Each structure stands twice: as structure tokens, then as C-alpha cells.
A and B are shown apart, each in its own frame.
Chain A
Amino acid sequence: MKLFIFELKKLFRRRFLLIMLALLLCLNVFNIWQNYSLYFHNRNAEMNIARREMYEHIEGRLTSEKVQWIKDYNEKMTAIVNGGAAYDNDEFFTGYAFGDMNISNEWLDEVTRIYNYNSEIQRLKTETAEYKKFAAAHGSVYFQNVSDKIEKTYGERKIDSVYNYSAFEPYFSYSFSSFLIIIIMLLAFSPLFAGEYETGMQLCFMSSVNGRKATGFAKIGAMTVFTFIVCVLFSLADFITFCLCAGLDGFSAPIFAIAGFAYTPLTCSIASFIVLLFFVKLLGFLTLGLIYSFFSSVFHKSYSVFVFGLLATFGLMLVSAYSKGILDTINTVNPINLIIGYKMFSSFDVNIMNIFDLPFWKWSITIVFCLVFALLIFLTVIILNNKNARRHIK
């Protein structure tokens, strides 16, 4: 425990690292504010504000009155635009009929989507039942199991509220903060072991009772806590800034209420999904941290670790983006998939894996495989620190 605290102190006392952390946090907040704020002073600001004001009329539980209101308002604006009368009016949300017509079109589409979701699910249920019969007729156990899984996951779904769901999509897909976390991690963990070679302290470790395995555990423990804290800071910065800038609300609504997640295999609330996504990302970052620790155990110089860590990260990003066929199966252990975890949860068609005729959600397999992968790297780092590291000293 003492060694773990000392290792944490080593990380948190690096002034350069703390300054970088503060700067990158500010950069992240500024980036969100500039690109996603409804109120940022750009040409869309007035439209965004009007969109928000119109939303307040339909927000909350979906009722026939609200559906009627948006329908009527859209028809009214369309008629004005087509008739060419009273085009500008201060009582309009945007100040002119054409703007209001466009915005009400968007909200009408969203309300219609939500209204139709329940019937879509009924259609899916019917199709799944037919599919199951077809699979049974052809003797396919796996596809019968898939049908059962779909029935069980999607069968009881319904959406009964309207919220500003579209604001969540940029929030979930926002990955600039992940890139910044990776930079901080590379700066922090490149010298984790290699720095001890550089300073000559490695010899002190080797000649000390707790200098091998216990120090390895302490360093990996400190890496874990540091990664957790950095992830919490950036996640909070993302969440608070998006809430303030993009008007996130409706956290108690189900995650499948968001258009991009309509067929997600998850049935939790948006709030629970935010927490789940944080831990999924954290696992991805920890696996990356272990990869950097591995490099740090192998290389003598911190900058070599930084360069190789950066190259490895870009390589993993490329594999995550472009892998096909057998590479896609190997890609299951790619920690980048966890860092961009929202993609794993956003659709079901490519997300089911066949394991011994049993259908498993790909996200659950990815998490299990990444955990095993992380454990293997962890053990390798500990073994290197315990034995092999000595071979690097001349």
C-alpha cells in the first residue's frame, strides 16, 4: 500500500503533467462550446434558440394534444410560406414563417418517429416470430436462439416521452476528449518503468526486497487510479459542458428513445447508459494504459515508449475503423472499440456473435475479451519487471 501511494505521488507531482492536464481540459471544454453549443455566436444560434423554444411546447410525456399542436403549427407555417402572406412576424419562434416551418418539420419528424416506434417494435416482433418458424423449419438452432434473443430484448419496448434526444448523439459520439486522455496517458505512463532505467533507480529496485513484483503491482495500481481520475475529469467536463451547451435532458428516458440507438441491445435508461459507457471507456483506456506500461517495461527511453505508444494507438484506431473478415474477429480485443463504445451499442444487425450456436451480443464478448487481454498484458508487465527487465541492464 505504501509503495502504491508513493507511485501515485510520483505521477501527481509531475508539474508538466498537471499543467498539460489542465490545459487539455480547458481545450476540451472550449472545443465542445465552440462546436456544439446552441448559444455559441454563430449564424445557427438564433435557429437553435428557436428550436429549443418550440421543443418546450412538446417536451415530456407524449400526448395526442402535443402531436396535434406540432402538426397544426407545421401546417400553419407551411400554408403561410406557400401563400406568401404575413411572412415575417415577431410572434414566430424564428421571427419568420420559413424558419418556423423548417424547425416544426424537424420536430414533427421526431414526434412521428417516437409515435411510430411502438408499432415498429410490433412489426419486428411479428417478423421475428416468422423468422423463428422459418429457422425451425430449416433446423437452425442458432437462428432460433437469435429469434428468442431478439424477442426477449426488443419485445416489450415502447417510448412514451419526447425529449431533446438528438442532442445526445453528438454527446455519445464525441471522441475528442478520448484523444486528449490518450495524450495525457502517454505522457504519464511513458516513464512509468522506462523512467526508472533513465534515472538509474531501476538498480535500486533490483537490489530491494520489494523492488520487483510489489513495485510492479504498485505502478500498475497507480496507473489505474490515475487513468480513473483523468477519465472522471474529462467525462465530467464533457457531461457538464454538453448539458450547459447542448441542452441535454430526459435522462430517465430509455436509451432506445434516441434515434441512433433505436435498436440498441440495451434496455436501460439514458442515465444508466452514460454510467455504463464511462466504465466501458475506462476499461478501454486501462487496457491502453497497460499496453503503454508494457512498452515502458521493454524500452530504455521514455520518448521511445511515447513514440511506440502513439504508433500502436493509431494502428489500433485503423484496425478498429477498417478491419474486415478475420481481422474483424481479432478486432474484438481492440481496446479502441471500448473507447468508442457507443458504436457497439448503437445497432443490433452486426452485433450478434455465434458462439457454439448461442447468440451473444458482440459488446459483451468485446468486454470479456478485452478484460482477458488486459489481464495478459498485466501479467506480462509484472513478469518483465520481476525477471526479464534485468536483461536490459548492462
Chain B
Amino acid sequence: MIEIKNITKYYGKKKAIDNISLTLTEGIYGLLGPNGAGKSTLINILVTALSQTAGEVLYGGIDIRDKRSDYLSDLGFLPQNPRFYKNYTAEEFLKYMAALKNVGGKIDGKIDELLDFVNLAKEKKNKIGTFSGGMLQRIGVAQALINDPKIVIFDEPTAGLDPKERIRFRNLLSEISNNRTVILATHIVPDVEYIANKVILMNNGEIIKTDTPNELMKSIDGNVWELIVSVDEIEKYITMYDISNAYREGDIYKLRIVSSEQPHEKAVSLSPILEDVFLYYCGKQ
């Protein structure tokens, strides 16, 4: 269990994280927020790459800075857009990561198992420089799991992936979540919609809301509307409201509007989805 207690982080005079507290147990956590919300700063603190200005992160009741080696032994991490060593083969790279993570014993079997798990067994002897974006992310997942961690953190793992690879990645994530704490930081809502047990919504360095996706959606019931407007009217609604979707049908537009007030008497109430929740809490207001 990880306890984040009153974490604050300043970069110079700019406050990046403002007094965040959170408890993370087993399961998948979707850390959702727009760019600049403070997700990466929080992730960097959790992986001990950054020191917080105030507060503490406890793992097993002990500050992670006091028992860093023990904590890091239980941690797996895939950073945002890493460029792994292109001159290493997949096997060499995983051996290198095993050495970095101080994984002893016979590692060859573990590497074969992981490469098989991420569907890269055939690429074992191929250089990483020849890998596609999706394959790079999968080798990234394999390196994050090389030490059989209890906590796994992924920072924007699906950025730049095509839809097929994104689905494949989500499936991998679901498979590894047993008996683990998985934190998935992203600004892509569908990534967490179907797989996260809990969603942590962040904006401006603060946690706006933490709950299950269903509860979050319930929390904005009655705040999502569908309105049909003409082409001439669309500019007005885009300026006034958060639009989660705009669908054109001939000369008219079907707008999906997130608003606590009914935007128009003809607007029809809809069931919220997670993207609406994201817009509701992190949108124009």
C-alpha cells in the first residue's frame, strides 16, 4: 500500500502539486488530467526521480526516501516516450534492465517469459532500433515487469500508438494487474475507462475527484446534453459550453454538451461517459 500524504511540489515559485493526499492499494488506478495538471510531477515523485517540497510518500508505512532500495525493488516503471538503446537487442536490453534493477539468479527464463507475454518472443534477437512504436511500448512493459514488481507505474503509455496497439496495451495492463498496484497516468480518457478500478482526476496540481469510473459518471448525472443546432449556431455553443462531441449530419450538428445547466430548452439529457466527466471537472470552468 502506498500512502501519499500532503505532497506539495514547487518548481521555483510555481506550484506544480498542491497538498495532495491519496492511498493506493491493489488494482488499476487511472491518473487522469489535462497536460500540465501535475501528473508527471506526481509520477516522478513516486518513482523517486524528484523530491517533493513538502509531505511524504509512505510504502509499508515507511517513507520511500528512507528505504529507497526496498521500495525500488518493488517498483516497475515505464516513462513517457522513452528511447531505449537502439543498438541493443530486446534480450540484451532486458538483461541490462535486470542488472539495473538488481535482479539476480537465472534471468534467461524470465526474459523469455516476459517477451512471450508481450508478444515479442520472435524479436528476441532483433535490435530495438528496428522496433515499431507499439513494439517499443511492449518492450517497455517487459522491462517494467522484469523485477516482478508490486507497484507498476506507466506514464502516458499509449501516446502515439495506433488504435490496435492501444487495445493490445490495455489488455496487457489488465493481465498484469493481479495482486499489484498499477498506476496509469494519461490524458487519453478511453485508456482508463474500461480497465481502471479507480480514476484519480487531477487539474492544476490538485486532485479534483477520486472514485470508480461508474461513480464518477453518476456524479455528473443530469449534466450531459444532446442538442441539435444549425451550422450558423455552432460557434456560439462552442464558445459558451464544453462540447465533448460534435457530429455533423448534412446542414445540422449534433452536439454533446457538458453543462450543469440545460443549454437550450430542446436539449435532451444523456447518460454521462468518462470523457464527459473529464470535461466537467477539467474543462472550461
Contacts and interface: CB of A to CB of B under 8 A. Distances in A.
Interface of A: 2-3, 6, 9-10, 13-14, 198-211, 215, 390-391, 393-394
Contacts of B41: 394
Nearest to B40: A394
Contacts of A206: 47-49
A209 B79 contact: no
Given A14-B87, A209-B72, A211-B100, A201 B47 contact: no
A201 to B, nearest CB: 6
A10 B73 CA distance: 25
Interface in B1-35: 11
B101 interface: yes
A199 B83 contact: yes
B230 interface: no
Contacts of A210: 99-102
19 contacts: A3-B96, A3-B100, A10-B87, A14-B87, A200-B82, A203-B47, A203-B77, A203-B82, A205-B100, A206-B49, A207-B77, A207-B153, A208-B101, A210-B102, A211-B72, A390-B48, A390-B51, A394-B11, A394-B41
A385 to B, nearest CB: 12
Contacts of A208: 72, 97, 100-102
Interface of B: 11, 41, 44, 47-51, 69, 72-73, 75, 77, 79-85, 87-88, 92, 95-97, 99-102, 143, 153
A282 B88 CA distance: 30
A3 B99 contact: yes
A199 B129 CA distance: 13
Contacts of A14: 87
Contacts of A390: 48-51
A209 B83 contact: no
Given A200-B82, A211-B72, 17 more contacts: A6-B95, A14-B87, A199-B84, A200-B83, A201-B82, A201-B85, A203-B82, A204-B143, A206-B48, A207-B47, A207-B48, A207-B153, A208-B72, A208-B101, A210-B102, A390-B48, A394-B11
Nearest to B102: A209
B261 to A, nearest CB: 39
B213 to A, nearest CB: 27
Contact of B49 (A2, A9, A207): A207
A9 B50 CA distance: 29
Given A209-B102, A210-B101, A390-B50, A204 B87 contact: no
Contacts of B51: 390-391
Sorted nearest first, the 6 A-B pairs with minimum C-beta distance are A206-B49, A207-B47, A200-B82, A203-B79, A13-B87, A199-B83
Contacts of A6: 92, 95-96, 99
A201 B73 contact: no
Contacts of A199: 82-85
Contacts of B48: 206-207, 390
Contacts of B153: 207
A209 B80 CA distance: 20
Given A203-B77, A393-B50, A2 B84 contact: no
Contacts of A9: 87-88, 92
A207 B82 contact: no
Contacts of B87: 9-10, 13-14
